[in-house]
Amino acid sequence: MKYCVLYNPLARNSTCEESLEKLKEFLSEDDFVVEDMTKISSYKDFFASLDPERGIIVCGGDGTLNRFVNDTDGIDYKNDVYYFAGGSGNDFWNDLGRKYGDEPICINKYIENLPTIFVNGMQRKFINGIGYGIDGYCCEEGDRLRETSDKPINYTSIAIKGLLYAFKPRNAELSVDGETKSYKKAWLVPTMNGRFFGGGMMPTPAQDRLNPEHKLSTMVFYGHGKLKTLMIFPNIFKGTHVKDKKVEVFTGKDITVKFDRPTPLQIDGETVSNVTEYTVHAAKAPAKEETKEFAAV
């Protein structure tokens, strides 16, 4: 058997098993074993028992990848790690120019040397980005609705309601590599490792997750009133919002964002509530080359 498939049954609104069936189209019946990654209590023990020559295929969404890289952080494993998109938004997959149903690819070079966020006493690696502002509000509201209903969450509707009356912009202070600027009426101040978050939004269209210096991009969307913001907001899905005079994008390695009131934040789609500031540090090590291809049998 060549691959060990780790899948998250909770991904894609708890329908990841359908994605798992799609993945099996690329594998022969004797070529893999499947493990429910939510039942792995120790990745250190998991890797110790696994042949280093066996490839791992992670099947799930952006949150699944985030959990994998954080749960395996500090473990010196030798296995090649592949990814098969099985989430709802699949922003990481989208950033690589791939679509749902495409064959797995090796992602070791994408999950090494990741940036770290420090927030509310917590330290986490992240794959795609940190959302702070209206997008964090949308994630928190989506979580609240999910607890009370099994209906699909309409984040577009949540965002519109938030922009019109539920979410109030904050005053923000942004520090990038020692340079600090202040902003009034900040609606959105994300820091990105990739280009996409939120199921297709592109706050930093020029960000390259494999740039050799590991620089990150922070976007500030500020200053406009509710209606003007509502008019500009859809442009984030095309990346053309950066043309607006009250949208600024900075690149750097050490970034701190402060708001004057507690605000929800999201890390690769996972919500953190009551945040007044976060700090991000880019990876220090040089990027590694990677040419592995998925070998279907």
CATH fold group of domain 3-113: Rossmann fold (3.40.50)
**Is the predicted pLDDT of residue 295 greater than 90, yes or no?**
no
145 or 117, greater pLDDT: 117
pLDDT of residue 156: 81
CATH hierarchy code of domain 117-281 = 2.60.200.40
pLDDT of residue 297: 43
pLDDT of residue 282: 98
95 or 89, greater pLDDT: 95
Rounded Cα distance, 113 and 243, in Å: 31
Give me the residue spans of the domains in the chain: 3-113, 117-281
Same fold? 3-113, 117-281 = no
Q: Report pLDDT digits (tens) over 241-263.
A: 999 999 999 999 999 999 999 99
pLDDT of residue 14: 85
**Among 111-120, 145-154, 228-237, whose mean pLDDT is lowest?**
145-154
Alpha helices per DSSP H over the chain: 11-14, 16-23, 43-48, 62-71, 91-95, 108-111, 134-148, 155-161, 226-232
Question: Which of 87, 49, 274 lies closest to 196 in space, CA to CA?
Answer: 87
List all residues 6 or more positions away from 126 whose beta carbon is below 8 Å from its beta carbon: 66, 114, 115, 116, 117, 193, 267, 268
**Mean pLDDT over residues 33-47, rounded?**
95
Rounded Cα distance, 231 and 222, in Å: 13
**Among 12-16, 54-58, 169-173, whose mean pLDDT is lowest?**
12-16
Q: Is 263 helix (H, G, I), strand (E, B) or coil?
A: strand
Q: What percent of the chain has pLDDT over 70?
A: 95
288 pLDDT band (50/70/90 cuts)? low
**Among 66-80, 115-129, 131-145, 277-291, whose mean pLDDT is lowest?**
277-291
List all residues 6 or more positions away from 138 whose beta carbon is below 8 Å from its beta carbon: 155, 158, 159, 162, 198
146 pLDDT band (50/70/90 cuts)? confident
As a whole number, the mean pLDDT across the chain is 93
Rounded Cα distance, 72 and 44, in Å: 8
pLDDT of residue 157: 87
**Is the predicted pLDDT of residue 276 greater than 90, yes or no?**
yes
293 pLDDT band (50/70/90 cuts)? low
Strand partners, 131: 266
pLDDT of residue 138: 93
**Among 157-161, 263-267, 268-272, whose mean pLDDT is lowest?**
157-161
Backbone angles phi, psi at 219, to 5 degrees: -110, 135
